[in-house]
Structure 1
Amino acid sequence: MPQTKNNPERSFAASFADEGPRSQAATGLVFLWAGLLYGAQTLAYGAIEAGLFALSGSGGLILALAPTIPFLAVIVYVSWQGRTSQKGVATRALNACYTSAGLVNLVIAIAFGVLAARKQNMTIWLLYPIVICAMQGAAWYAACAIRRKVWLGAISAGWFVVTVILTLLVTRIEAYLLVLGLALWGLMAAPGYALMKRAATEPDNA
């Protein structure tokens, strides 16, 4: 124990070992449902743009709001489950990364939304997901640096690649939405599921 206290790296590792499984399971659950729900929504919008089907005014409103209610339920569940857990330095560091990224995403969404509405220019709004993808790449890179897992770095690289692809497709809305929807499934939902599976196989020492 004295060695752990005197060695910051060992202290960090010990904290992460205790907190890892629960933290990974909660994070994975959020990413899984966020990726599935918003990926499906994005692909539905892509299908509409491609003329595969159309929605009435009420149908459009339902599609716009459909992912939000179940996702908020997931957030409430995760928050309730983790209300009494003691978080170590590794967990706090990761939570800070994802929380700060989420707050920045919210502010950017408002800024791009207001600007797009004022200019009546859809292209301005399409720049918002591009920025979000870059933010996801940065957040996953931070997770890779903290956890020192190569696969997390691969997810980060994937988000950066998607950022470039979306930039090139910003004037081709159907392809843009297809790539974004598949990215949400492949680079958010799938890693979220992987985090949950890894957490289930790791011992929880807490």
Structure 2
Amino acid sequence: MMDGKNTLEPDLDFLRGLVEGGGNRTQYLTGHAFAVGGGLYAFQCFANWLLVILALDLPGIVWITLHSLPTVIFLAYCVWQGVRYGASNTGNATSRAITAAFQAAGFTNLALILIFAPTAIGRNDFTIWLFYPAVVFALQGAAWLTAYQLRRRLWLLGVALGWMVSAVALGLLIGNLAYLLVAGGALFLFMTVPGIVMVRLSKNQD
């Protein structure tokens, strides 16, 4: 007959992990990625808005660079971090669950690109593509809401609600220049700033 104590230990470890907080390398790296990615894409949104407002007659290469360079830089950064630190699965059950939620949201983004991009291109209607960021923002809100439900920290709930409100705002602002300002502001406030907070918390809790 199996020992009852040995049977309960994995469950007790999991529950203990859900209750305890604690920084770890995964949280540190995720926070760094949020800070860098949020900063790059916020800059992209604000730069686009400014160029449209100024009505500058720029060559196509400038627009292509503006739209592609942030992604190139961010992917290069992620590869560099992966090579430098390698895969990390440290931390308690809460940290791993939160990381899994963000990773799931990230992979879902790839599927959304394959849904929205072909339709927008096929119909030659850029408006369709503008719904993609709104859906991505909503997914980010869901991931942060998961983090709040696991950690019960009010700042996590604030970030989640910020993403969701921004997602609705983007949907309502399709075709309006304010769309770019809202997107840039949300990326900075709800991605860059929380990323910095995550990095600091991970250091304080080590």
On whether the aligned pair clears a TM of 0.5, the verdict is yes
TM-score class normalised by the smaller sequence:
0.7 to 0.9
* CA distance in 1: counterparts of 2:125 and 2:89, whole angstroms: 47
- Percent of residue pairs identical: 35
- CA deviations on 1:35-57 (whole Å, 9 max, x unpaired) are 00011011111222223534311
Once structures 1 and 2 are overlaid, which stretch shifts more, 63-72 or 74-83?
74-83
The TM-score, its normalising length taken from structure 1, stands at 0.86
For residue 68 of structure 1, what is the aligned residue in structure 2? 71
* CA distance in 2: counterparts of 1:55 and 1:156, whole angstroms: 37
For residue 120 of structure 1, what is the aligned residue in structure 2? 124
1:186 aligns with 2:189: yes
Per-residue deviation at 1:129?
0.6
* CA distance in 2: counterparts of 1:169 and 1:84, whole angstroms: 39
**Counterpart pick for 1:41 among 24, 44, 66:** 44
Per-residue deviation at 1:137?
0.4
**Counterpart pick for 1:176 among 176, 179, 192:** 179
Does the CA-based 8 Å contact 1:133-1:159 persist in structure 2? yes
- CA deviations on 1:156-178 (whole Å, 9 max, x unpaired) are 00011111211221121x10011
Aligned amino acid, residue 201 of structure 1: N
Q: Which runs of 5+ in 2 are unaligned?
A: none
The TM-score, its normalising length taken from structure 2, stands at 0.86
For residue 203 of structure 2, what is the aligned residue in structure 1? 200
1:163 aligns with 2:167: yes
Equivalence map 1:13-32=2 (5 Å): 13=19, 16-17=21-22, 20-32=23-35
Aligned-CA RMSD value: 2.2
* CA distance in 2: counterparts of 1:71 and 1:142, whole angstroms: 25
Does the CA-based 8 Å contact 1:47-1:53 persist in structure 2? no
* CA distance in 2: counterparts of 1:147 and 1:79, whole angstroms: 26
For residue 51 of structure 1, what is the aligned residue in structure 2? 54
Runs of 4+ off more than 6 Å: none
Does the CA-based 8 Å contact 2:27-2:198 persist in structure 1? yes
* CA distance in 1: counterparts of 2:94 and 2:145, whole angstroms: 15
**Counterpart pick for 1:110 among 100, 108, 114:** 114
Q: Which runs of 5+ in 1 are unaligned?
A: none
Secondary structure, aligned partner of 1:50: helix
- CA deviations on 1:68-123 (whole Å, 9 max, x unpaired) are 23212321233234426442433331222111111111111121111011111121
Paired residues, number? 198
Alignment CA distance shift 1:141-1:84 (3 Å): closer
